[in-house]
Amino acid sequence: MIDQMIKPKKQKRAVKRIRQEFGKTVFIALLAVCFAGCKTASIKNPGTVIGPFHKPDNYSLVGGGMPLDMRRVALLPLTSAVNSLEHQSGRQILQAFLQAEIAKSGLFEVVYMPSTRMEQLTGQPAWRMIEELPVDFIEKITAEYDCQGVLFSHLTVYQPYPPLSIGWRMGLVHLSPESNNGSVVWEIDHVFNAGQKSVINSARRNALKNGLSDPELDETFGLLNSPRRFGRYTAEEVVATMSQMGSGSLFASVNEDSQKLPAQGGFFKRLFKRQ
């Protein structure tokens, strides 16, 4: 009789233990699913979620809209402040990223003009926006590429070692072959410095969006030690400011007195008329 009373108690305790173990297993499995759905970088680096984040602010949009007829734009060869081996390597890497980001934006069709072809047409492999251009520059570019705009791009800063630093100075010009001139519709002069916490957070958030894993975001060996990955982030951010113009918006001109864009790294010289 006593044995019969003890057995049910043992059975109840056994069932209770099984339920507890099962509950733990289910709980652990649920945690695994949750953490798999969330990037572990958001736990190790909460700044990728809560910020602060970096936003380029030294840029100018003219009229807030893209010219209606600017369907194709020639991307001119990227120039840089110096012609060191580091800058040559940086130009090669960043030129490809810039072209890809512009194409992805869908603002217009972008055609890249190689430096070899630029030299054949104009006598020089690359031109900066602040240089005095040949008198037939617009005529030759439009005849070659049937484009309605040109995009100048220049590296003001390129530091491929920690803290990484990349500076862009760019200008989008709406061409007018009839008057052999053009109008600047977008300009930017901005430096991304990985020594700033907001830049680090934004770069990591961008990398997560583009599919990088947590080890690749590591501060010592990953994103912040890779000029290529950091450069991709900066190119995407720069093009994002131009994308605010949208496509198909009415084009409004600017005041004749507005000749320069105040910039951290200098000024854009007035070479093209602003209607």
pLDDT per residue over 134-175, tens digit each?
999 999 999 999 999 999 999 999 999 999 999 999 999 999
In a domain, 275, yes or no: no
Work out the mean pLDDT of the chain and round it to a whole number: 77
Mean pLDDT, rounded, for 73-101: 95
The answer to whether residue 230 scores a pLDDT higher than 80 is: yes
> What is the distance in angstroms between the CA of the first residue and the CA of the last residue of the chain?
106
pLDDT of residue 7: 53
Could you give the C-alpha distances from 14 to 2, 18, 155, in angstroms and in order?
A: 19, 6, 71
Q: Residue 242: its pLDDT value, please? A: 94
Same domain, 30 and 160: no
Based on the fold, state whether residues 146 and 57 are members of the same structural domain.
yes
Euclidean distance between CA atoms 88 and 82, whole angstroms? 9
Q: Give the domain range for residue 7.
A: 1-37
pLDDT at 97 (0 to 100): 96
Whether residue 130 is found in the same domain as residue 211: yes
- Written as six digits, the tokens of 199 are 């830049």
Q: Which of 7, 39, 22, 55 is nearest to 202 (CA)?
A: 55
Residue 223 CB contacts under 8 Å (≥ 6 apart), including other chains: 203, 204, 207, 212, 216, 217, 229, 230
Residue 193 within any structural domain of the chain: yes
The answer to whether residues 114 and 22 belong to one domain is: no
The number of distinct structural domains making up the chain is 2
24 in the same domain as 53: no
Instruction: For residues 112 and 240, state if they share a domain.
Output: yes
pLDDT grade, residue 236 (50/70/90)?
very high
Residue 43 included in any domain: no
Residue 267: predicted pLDDT: 31
| Same-domain pairing of 67 and 161 | yes
Same domain, 31 and 78: no
- Which one is predicted more confidently, 236 or 210? 236
Same domain, 58 and 29: no
| Statement to judge: residues 25 and 66 lie in one domain | no
